[in-house]
Structure 1
């Protein structure tokens, strides 16, 4: 297919533009979007599966059908690149694996892949279970805890120990502050998300301070690893010593960007998934009882290992259903590098494509009673009938999340370890308010009462 032809053989320039909701001159749909991003996304389905709109002077097109998601991420992947809209996070994550493209991305991904081989992930399992048991033991029976901060501390400790062979507990506050600052900066319900970093708003000033402190931590961690008596075989050591085809090691800026990317993305999304899992189990006691029964039957009180995961089938389904219901990485952004045809419409070059997991995962066309938390829905028959890319919590195509296996193992091991020891019941039984930042996170504290088991 040439760049001027659609999949049907017709000229792309002859295809109509996608439908769009009414907007206002200059501002487009900005006010509607900022006022309530969730309602705005929900309303797009009224216009079909390919819908255009304008926010803050940027042209967007949202895709709501799995076939169109597959086209962007897999079939015609070369026609799409990283969106400039996402590149705004570059001040924080730099040119790390999440944002880089082309030869640089391929070179970095190849360097890092060995750290995520199946056998290497198995070696991280003991740390995952140990830190999870330590977190559960730190809570008292009857105590009310804010779950999300606890899960962030836990997943950060696991990530730093497993991948970097470092103890960051003394530096975790700077990492947590940076995570909070980038989510505040990217909050879709705030005008700050659409302002340049140099505009001196309180949010932007906090963002700059947090990034500076974060960079100091990263520099210390790199220096600490370089100063070790002998080279390790952890992920950071691989980054420090890996060479490309020309025998060159990573530059200091590349090291900084990759470490920033993995410290942020590697713990933030997992901590959110665990938080959502505790909320879903609290709201669905039948599912929780079934989980507890499986843990008792398979583990008999022992701490779970990687070898146990194959037998913890319901535990895996709890994780899978949580990521369906509340995907932390809630939307994939791409940019059309040329005019393209999607679903019979012409999407112009430069348009930012949004592929919203949180909408597609909860679409009744693909999932029966989508707002219900039902791990048992994931039967073999259901999975086989599901369209490809109706479920894509880790993205897809060549750029699927490199840490997917690590995250799945961590989620299952942490959930199994902690659920053996405690149950968590949400204090507030109302709807779970969320916000769209860099990730999809709960709005405010998620307070839960601990009961020892």
Structure 2
């Protein structure tokens, strides 16, 4: 069932870090990047009647997943509605979604909201615009290119193995907490190397506070309070941000004061410090801090959320889990997976993709029309908020037959019903698509493989309640019983290829 919760979740549009993702046809905006233009005309139809002044805000806030899905099912692909006094448009056709996401930074702006989020990530790439955004994107993007992701793969599996080694047969665990522990270790080691030392727990606790308090503010009335109002939640958040600033600032100062002949650090922080723009200028200390914290926030909880839902779905579908067991035994033979195994773990990848279809961590995106904006050839009034929902579109039977069913085989390269472009968009799209998409896909697959080759996780029967907040998470802890696989061998690290 869906957890009914009074929230205002449109802030998630700002949470995705960005890289270019360009289609081959369409307009060419400034900078020479192609922009898709939908051949399908856009013909908006009015949605249900809203309340005076509030519009559809109460229905949206009470149960946004149901609200958005019903808009699509009852009124079609382009539905007008209102979020309070703001004119809104929900688009659900992949062609229109592709055009919208490709037009951000050209004729649409990202929707910015939330004082607390700005305190945490500062003026990082996710909250930048125009030339400032393009500069920061170019500096941050190389830190997670495929070659760098390849170097981090061993860390992913080692962190997964460390957790799996602690699990005991018959033990009950909070799966969400265990997955968060794994991804937190991964992000600490790939972002900061071993520099944190005894401060690892302190910084991790501070980051957890910022995530909790950001979500709490964006779900409540304090979202609308002016910045000078200091609620208890905001005071807790500012104290946590001060802890983060002190620790990350210390790391930046130590790295920059190191001797010139010192061995460079091959982690994300080291790459941010080494980055130079077209004029040869580095990121400032504040910019490095903002991007490092953003990479932490974007690279930790999203992947742990996806892994939690993957385990939940595998428990409910033993035939899919058996097929995963077969693949892991055949490909890995008892050893830990490496990056060279990734392409061979095809069913594992399909499980991850199908999980991201049914339970996309980021489930809603929005952009604001600039003067002169169009979609599908139709002019839009300036200021219109255009929404697209991964949750709703991913469950559209036109693109996904039997959409509520967990069917990883949908993602086989020779599947009978190929998925249209932008019918599946868990990482967004266009020039502001998720910078860490490959990192997340590789991490999810390798962590799942490294833990599933030893254990099964058995959840209690029944459907988990979903809470759409900062991310699409379970409404409460998800507990499962550890069952060691009878045929599971002792996974050991394989030698790295030369």
TM-score in terms of structure 1 length: 0.90
Residue 68 (structure 1) aligned with residue 96 (structure 2):
yes
- Pairs within 5 Å for 1:26-425: 26-45=53-72, 46-74=74-102, 78-85=106-113, 89-166=117-194, 169-170=200-201, 171-187=203-219, 190-196=220-226, 198-226=228-256, 230=262, 231-343=264-376, 346-382=379-415, 385-425=418-458
- SS state at 1:304 partner: coil
* CA distance, structure 2, for counterparts of residue 241 and residue 90 of structure 1: 25
User: Given the superposition, is the C-alpha separation of residues 290 and 196 from structure 1 closer, same or farther in structure 2, using an over 3 Å criterion?
Assistant: farther
| 1:402-437 superposed Cα distances (whole Å, 9 cap, x missing partner) | 11111111111100000011111113x222212222
Is the CA contact (8 Å cut-off) linking 1:18 and 1:345 kept in structure 2? no
* In 2, Cα distance between equivalents of 1:309 and 1:371: 27
Cα distance in 2, alignment partners of residues 238 and 76 from structure 1: 27
Matched position secondary structure for 2:214: helix
Q: Deviations over 1:100-142 (max 9, x none)?
A: 1221222122222222222221111111110000011122221
**Separation (CA, whole Å) in 2 of partners of 1:406 and 1:43:** 34
Number of equivalenced pairs:
443
CA contact (8 A) 1:53 1:61 kept: yes
Are residues 390 and 32 of structure 1, via their aligned partners in 2, closer, same or farther at CA, if it must alter by over 3 Å? Answer: same
Equivalent position SS for 1:78: coil
For 1:386 and 1:227, locate their aligned partners in 2 and report how far apart those are by CA, in whole Å. Answer: 51
User: What is the root-mean-square deviation in Å for CA atoms of aligned residues?
Assistant: 2.7
Return closer, same or farther for 1:126/1:76 CA change in 2, 3 Å cut-off: closer
- CA distances 1:379-417 after superposition (whole Å, capped 9, x unpaired): 334487422100111111222111111111111110000
8 Å Cα contact 1:197-1:204 kept in structure 2: no
- For structure 1, the residue ranges without an aligned partner over 5 or more in a row are none
Q: Name which of structure 1's ranges 353-362 and 373-382 shifts more when overlaid on structure 2.
A: 373-382
